[in-house]
Chain A
Amino acid sequence: MSDDLDAWLDESYPRAYRAACLVLRSPADAEDAVQEAFLRVWRFRDAIPPGDGRRAWLYRVVVNACLSRMRGDRVWRERGGDEALASMPSQLDPQRDVEDAELARCISDALARLPEHLRVPVVLRYFSGLPEKEIAVAIQRRPGTVKSRLAEARRRLSEDPALMAWTTLEVAQ
C-alpha cells in the first residue's frame, strides 16, 4: 500500500469502526462491515477523490457496508430495543465518569430505537463530525433530505424516554 493511503486508512479506521458500532450495535458486525468497506476502498483506491472529499467518500463506503449488513442479516432485523441494549458492552470502565457512562447508555438506547435512515445521519453528524454536504455524499441523498432527517432524528431523540431526563436537565440549566 502506498504510504499516504496507508497512513490515512490507519487514521480513519478507529473512527469508522466506532461509527459502524453505533450504527450496527454489534462490534463483530461492525468489524466485518468496516473490513469489507476498507477492502473496497483499497480496490477502488484510484477513485478516491482528493482533499476533503475523501472523508465523505470513505464514510459512504462504510455506510453502504453497514446497510448491506443490516439488510442481509435477519437476526439483526429481529433485534428490538432491549436486545439492542443487551448487545452493548455491559462492563463500564470504573474510571469513567458515571454521568458520562449513564449518558452513553441512554444515547445508545435511544439510538437503537431510531430507524436506520435516521440513525446513520445522526452518527455521521454528531459522532463523525461530517457537515451536511458530506453526509449527503455518504448516504447518497440531497443535502435537504439530510437536513430534514437530522431534524426528525433530533425530535424523536428529544421525545425518547431514555433521554427525556437529559433534555429536561438541559432546559433547567
Chain B
Amino acid sequence: MITDELLERGLANAAEEYDVPADALMKLRSELSPAPVRRRLHVRMPRLQTRGRWLAAAVAVIALVGIAIGVGGTNSGSPDRNVLFAGKSPSGVPPKSLDRGAFNAAPRAIAAQPPTTVTAGGLVGAHAPAGTTPSVPSVPSVVPNDSLTKIISTGEIDLQAAKGRVHDTYDRLVAIATLEGGFVANSETNEGSDPTALVTLRVPSSAFDATITKVRGITGAKVLSLQTKTQDVTASYVDLKARLHALSTTRSTYLTILSRASSIGDILAVQSRINDIQMQIEQLQGQLNVLTDQTSFGTLTVTVDQKAAPAAVVHRQSGMSRAFHRSVDRFVNGTEAIVGVVGPIALVVLILAVLWFGSRLGYRVLRRRMV
C-alpha cells in the first residue's frame, strides 16, 4: 500500500511543476479593488461595467447639484406691518392669477391643488388647471421672470352689536363676504342671554380693504377695535418657484439617465434619486400652494358680541369694611395655597414609603436566602 509520506512528497513535487503566475495576484486585486489597475495581460471587461461607472459618476454629480439647489435658498419676507384702527393695508398691485405655464405638472405625484373658482354665490368648486398633460415635462431653459407681488393680508375686527342684533350682524357679515367674492371659512356662534359670534371671512386680496370698509359700516354694530396686518412674501414665492423649477429640471435629467441605464444597480440608484427629488418637489409644491392660497385670499376675523347691560351701582365701602373684606380674601388665598401644596407633599411621601417598604422586604428575602 502506498504510504502517506510518498503521496505527500509526490504531490508536493508535482505541484512544484506549476508556477504561480506572477501577475495572478495583481489581476485578482484589480478585480477586487474599486480603482482600475493597469493590467499587463489583456482582460476582456464587459462594456456595461465601464458605462455603469460613468452613469454612477453622472448620477452623483447631478445629485450634488440638485441637493445644493433644492436645499439652498432662503425664505425672506418683508417685515410685517401692523396697523390699528382704520390703518390701511397697502393696495399694491392687485394679485393676478397664478401663471402655471412654467410648471407643467407630471401626472404621477405632483399633488398640485387646483385653483378655486369663486363667484358671487360663494365657493362653487375647484377645477383642474387647463393645459396639464400627463407626459414628461418639457424643460424651459431659464427660470421664468415673475414680477408679481405676493401679499398676505389678515385682519381682526371686534364689533359690538346692539342688544339682540348679534345674529343679524352675523348674517350681514356672511352677505358681505359673499358679495365681495369670498366665503366664510369658519364661524362660531353662542346663543343665550349673552350671545357672541366669531366669523372668519376669506375674501380676495383685491377686495380686502373694501370688505373691511363694509364691515365697519354695518348698521347697529360699533367697531371696538380693528387690526390689520400685511406681509410681503414675494421673495419667498419667487424662491419656491425657482427651486421647483430647478428640481423639475433635475428630475427630467434623471429620467433621461434612467431611460439609458441598463444594469439593475444603476436603475435602482437613479430611481432612488428620482424618488428623493419627487418628494422634494411635492413638499415645495405644497408650500407654494399654501402661499398661493394665503396671498390670493385675505383673512378677516370678526368677533361680535352684544352690548353689555348697564353696570350695577357699586356702593362705596368704608375703611373698616374694606379691611374686613381684604382680610377674608387673604384668609381664603392662604387656605388655597396650603391645599395646593398638600398634594405634591403627599405624592413625595407616598413614593418614599413605597421605596422604604420595598427595601425592607428585599432585605428580609435576602437574609432568608443567605441563612
Partners in one complex: yes
Chain A residues with a Cβ under 8 A of chain B: 1, 9-10, 13-14, 17-19, 21-22, 27, 30-31, 34-35, 38-39, 42, 88-89, 96, 100-101, 103-108, 111, 122-123, 126-127, 154-155, 157-158, 163, 166-167, 170
Q: Are A39 and B31 in contact (CB under 8 A)?
A: yes
B21 at the interface (CB under 8 A from A): yes
Q: How far is the CA of A21 from the CA of B19 in the complex (A)?
A: 10
Residue picked from B16, B18, B24, B28, most chain A C-beta under 10 Å: B18
Within 8 A of A (CB), among B241-274: none
Q: Is the interface of B mostly helix, strand, loop or mixed?
A: helix
A98 to chain B, nearest CB (A): 11
B351 at the interface (CB under 8 A from A): no
Q: Are B15 and A13 in contact (CB under 8 A)?
A: no
Q: Are A108 and B14 in contact (CB under 8 A)?
A: yes
**Given A22-B11, A35-B28, A126-B11, A104 contacting B4 (CB threshold 8 A):** no
Q: Which 3 A-B pairs have the closest CB atoms?
A: A107-B10, A104-B13, A18-B15
Q: Are B10 and A170 in contact (CB under 8 A)?
A: no
**Given A13-B24, A155-B1, A127 contacting B18 (CB threshold 8 A):** no
**Given A35-B27, A35-B28, A170-B3, A106 contacting B10 (CB threshold 8 A):** yes
Q: How far is the CA of A154 from the CA of B10 in the complex (A)?
A: 13
Q: How far is the CA of A143 from the CA of B261 in the complex (A)?
A: 49
Q: Which of B1, B9, B13, B16 contacts A158 (CB 8 A)?
A: B1
Residues of chain A with a CB closer than 8 A to B16's CB: 18, 96, 104
Q: Is the interface of A mostly helix, strand, loop or mixed?
A: helix
Q: Which of A13, A30, A127, A163 contacts B12 (CB 8 A)?
A: A127
Q: How far is the CA of A34 from the CA of B28 in the complex (A)?
A: 10
B29 at the interface (CB under 8 A from A): yes
Q: Are A158 and B18 in contact (CB under 8 A)?
A: no
Residues of chain A with a CB closer than 8 A to B32's CB: 1, 39, 42
Residues of chain A with a CB closer than 8 A to B9's CB: 100, 103
Q: Which of A14, A17, A22, A157 contacts B14 (CB 8 A)?
A: A22
Q: How far is the CA of A27 from the CA of B9 in the complex (A)?
A: 20
A/B pair count, beta carbons within 8 Å: 99
B40 to chain A, nearest CB (A): 14
What bracket does the count of chain B residues touching chain A fall in?
20 to 34
B335 at the interface (CB under 8 A from A): no
A66 to chain B, nearest CB (A): 14
B145 at the interface (CB under 8 A from A): no
Q: Are B14 and A111 in contact (CB under 8 A)?
A: yes
**Given A1-B29, A35-B28, A38-B28, A126 contacting B4 (CB threshold 8 A):** yes
Residues of chain A with a CB closer than 8 A to B2's CB: 154, 157-158, 163, 166-167, 170
Ordered by A's residue number, 24 sampled pairs between the chains whose C-beta atoms are within 8 Å are: A1-B29, A10-B25, A13-B20, A14-B20, A17-B20, A22-B14, A27-B18, A39-B28, A103-B9, A103-B10, A104-B13, A104-B17, A106-B10, A108-B14, A111-B11, A123-B11, A126-B8, A127-B11, A154-B2, A154-B7, A157-B2, A158-B1, A166-B6, A170-B6
Chain B, Cβ-Cβ closest to A103: B10
Q: Are B14 and A13 in contact (CB under 8 A)?
A: no
Q: How far is the CA of A31 from the CA of B27 in the complex (A)?
A: 11
Q: How far is the CA of A9 from the CA of B77 in the complex (A)?
A: 63
